[in-house]
């Protein structure tokens, strides 16, 4: 008898939990999140400063996999050897980015190619603040590297910027 009562209590509790959760209204989607799953910032205005690190190209752009076709085209024709194509780059603090609150978008020759890594984006934004140009687009030179072939397969490309984050 006690066992049947315990089972009945468990069943009633589970049913109550089911109807409680099922009846809960779904939260409205976050208004800043893009519909359709894609987001690309739109650069506005001319760069207010051009950065250079003496041609070192030590700051890597991340998230390039989303822009693989664009980067491949920017690499140009290079046969089986590695590419080292140079392009003007625009660095855009992206305050409207729904995925990263301190994002810095990177455009080469007017085309989106990725972002600075979060740690680098924060350092870059601090550098903008030191120069009193927060939120403004700036420019630098960029190199599209890689894409050589190995064992008959094309290797990935990467994008490197001529910016020192201590400047």
* Residue 95 near residue 84 (C-beta atoms within 8 A): no
Domain boundaries, the chain: 59-161
Please tell me the pTM assigned to this model.
Answer: 0.76
Can you give the length of the chain in residues?
A: 167
Residue with the bigger pLDDT between 6 and 147: it is: 147
Share of residues in the chain with pLDDT > 70 (%):
87
Alpha carbon of 113 to those of 21, 40, 60: distances in Å?
42, 10, 11
Nearest in space to 95 (alpha carbons), one of 105, 80, 84: 105
Domain 59-161 has CATH 3.40.50: no
Q: Where are the alpha helices (DSSP H) in the chain?
A: 2-23, 68-75, 118-130
Residue 68 corresponds to which tokens in the numbers above? 């693989």
* Residue 42 near residue 108 (C-beta atoms within 8 A): no
With tokens 């109550």, the residue in question is 16
pLDDT in tens, 76-113: 999 889 999 999 999 999 999 988 989 999 999 999 99
Residue 114 corresponds to which tokens in the numbers above? 């990725």
């Amino acid at each position: 008898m006690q066992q049947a009562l315990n089972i009945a209590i468990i069943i009633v509790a589970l049913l109550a939990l089911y109807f409680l959760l099922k009846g809960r209204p779904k939260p409205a989607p976050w208004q800043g999140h893009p519909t359709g799953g894609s987001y690309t910032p739109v650069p506005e205005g001319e760069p207010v400063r051009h950065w250079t690190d003496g041609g070192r190209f030590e700051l890597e752009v991340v998230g390039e996999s989303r822009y693989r076709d664009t980067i491949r085209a920017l690499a140009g024709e290079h046969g089986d050897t590695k590419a080292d194509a140079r392009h003007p780059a625009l660095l855009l603090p992206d305050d409207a980015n729904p995925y990263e609150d301190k994002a810095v978008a990177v455009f080469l020759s007017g085309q989106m190619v990725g972002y600075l890594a979060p740690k680098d984006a924060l350092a870059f934004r601090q550098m903008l603040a030191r120069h009193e140009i927060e939120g403004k687009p700036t420019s630098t030179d960029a190199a599209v590297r890689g894409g050589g072939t190995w064992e008959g397969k094309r290797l990935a490309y990467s994008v490197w910027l001529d910016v020192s984050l201590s400047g």
